[in-house]
Structure 1
């Protein structure tokens, strides 16, 4: 990425992003960080440290953590550790890194990405909850995806509200879809094939009598319970209408969006889903659920259709409306694209992220205040 080059004696601060799996295997978080690195116009330098590796193995995980700790120890004082945190093992890894940063006197920012962090806290013993509270209260800044998570970190973990900032995920502008006309409506799901993502309900909805004989085809792209989903489709007689390509990379995902009319994500829990945002960016008609920060951004019947999580009947009805009504698909897709253009500029996101990280730098950069 490019950035403003200050006087040669001024050292450009570095933001080190700690992501389990890095940008290649870090899921939605890794994808977001890869977008940050690829966006022009930043005034800080960004680097990535993989805290887990591509596969969960105790030895490999320990090695990654030690490498991250060594990198932190060797970093200059103007380096901010940007810890991307979710529940489960991610929190344990960040507890270690946060403790190490405090011992070294290195400032860190916590960036919470989780579909239900309050529930994750509830499952932990009291001593872990106290340790997590210290991790969050000692952070220079805490970034969250929506108001639900803001309430969790302030009310449950005791973080000063003045140090909590809501920053929505963003994606680079992919341009408008180049969908070519063809017979039938194309439905697309992008994400892990799992119960949390609502895949069993989606399969059941597609098999409903009111949808079965409609002119549609679907692609359910992602890893996870691929074989189980394939068996369910075969049992319901949908194998000829639904394709399961497995995990796809970013380029293939964009091509699938270009070729599709409807993006559906009937999740039971999300933070703010990247696949929904990418569907909005490409002007697709989006069907998703009122979970996480979706309700804070999306408007039912205006720029998407929102259905209750787990409600097969409502999901089938929403899909049927879009299959039957090309005008509705077009209206929602245009509104989705306008929402993206208005609120989700990747350059603006980068500037806001850098401004938050810059607040954590003990001696602010000499080249002036960030936007």
Structure 2
């Protein structure tokens, strides 16, 4: 990312002519819109609006911030709340905390947190809105994969994310560690089908 390039040529002190930025790519044969629903996918397209994330359940990925933002949608999108669903794919130290926070708020039935999955490429096309709440990123593979699958992205404005998302054009950016801003961006996409396209 440009942020890592600036770090290497700035504080680290590498000469600029020795730094070459190579951006990540996505296998668009694997990651693309799909109509075939995996057998264990718990939600129904058209009936449910799915907000999803893929990543390690660790502090730097800030999954609890996404859980908090999702729960705020109950008040911000009361008409849409009954059909909203949250999918978080990935395992780690914060998985149990995320599940517990959803259960404590009475939203466990609206969420699916299955842990690590080997079939992310088959699941991601069934997510409507992709959220990347990370506190730090390079060029995020999962963000690129979600965009290739046709998901409407909301990401924190850290690392390489601003290089991938042009706000209001192909997604939304929010400050890191700010559940309120993340919830507002999610609410905009929930309420506006055109913005999700």
Q: TM-score range by the shorter chain?
A: 0.7 to 0.9
- Contact 1:188 1:256 (8 Å CA) reproduced: no
Q: Does the alignment pair 1:188 with 2:69?
A: no
Measured after TM superposition, the shift of residue 168 of structure 1 is: 1.0
Query: Which of 126, 149, 153 is the equivalent residue of 2:4?
Result: 149
Q: CA RMSD in A?
A: 1.7
Q: Secondary structure at the match of 2:127?
A: coil
Matches within 5 A, 1:16-31: none
Picking from 52, 66, 73, the partner of 1:202 is 66
1:165 corresponds, among 17, 20, 26, to: 20
Match of residue 178, structure 1, among 34, 38, 41: 34
Rounded to whole Å, the distance in 1 between the matches of 2:7 and 2:125 is 37
Displacement of 1:214 after TM fit? 4.6
From 307, 310, 315, give the equivalent of 2:177: 310
Q: Deviations over 1:88-141 (max 9, x none)?
A: xxxxxxxxxxxxxxxxxxxxxxxxxxxxxxxxxxxxxxxxxxxxxxxxxxxxxx
CA deviations 1:296-327 (Å, max 9, x no partner) are 23211111111111111111111111112212
Equivalent residues in 2 for 1:145-294 (5 A)?
A: 146-173=1-28, 174=30, 176-179=32-35, 181-208=45-72, 209-211=75-77, 213-224=81-92, 225-249=94-118, 252-294=119-161
Q: CA deviation at 1:243?
A: 0.8
Q: Render the CA deviation track for 1:273-317: whole Å, top value 9, x for unaligned.
A: 111010111121001011001112321111111111111111111
Q: CA contact under 8 A between 1:266 and 1:289: conserved in structure 2? A: yes
Classify the secondary structure of the residue corresponding to 2:134: coil
* Cα shift readout 1:212-237 (whole Å, capped 9, x = no counterpart): 63521111110112112111111111
- SS at structure 2 position matched to 1:254: helix
Where does the alignment leave 5 or more consecutive residues of structure 2 unmatched? 37-44
Instruction: Verify: 1:328 aligned to 2:192, yes or no.
Output: no
SS of residue paired to 1:277: helix
Q: 1:159 to 1:193 in 2, by over 3 A?
A: same
The runs of 5 or more residues in structure 1 that have no matched partner are 1-145, 331-371
Distance 2:2 2:125 in 1: 32
Q: Are the equivalent residues in 2 in contact too, given 1:220–1:244 (CA < 8 A)?
A: yes
Q: Is the CA contact (8 Å cut-off) linking 1:179 and 1:260 kept in structure 2? A: no
Q: Is the 8 A contact 1:288 1:306 kept in 2?
A: yes
Structure whose alpha-carbon radius of gyration is higher: 1
Structure 1 Cα separation of the partners of residues 180 and 35 of structure 2: 28
SS at match of 1:150: helix
State how many pairs are aligned.
183
How much does 1:247 deviate? 0.5
- Secondary structure at the aligned position of 1:183 is classed as coil
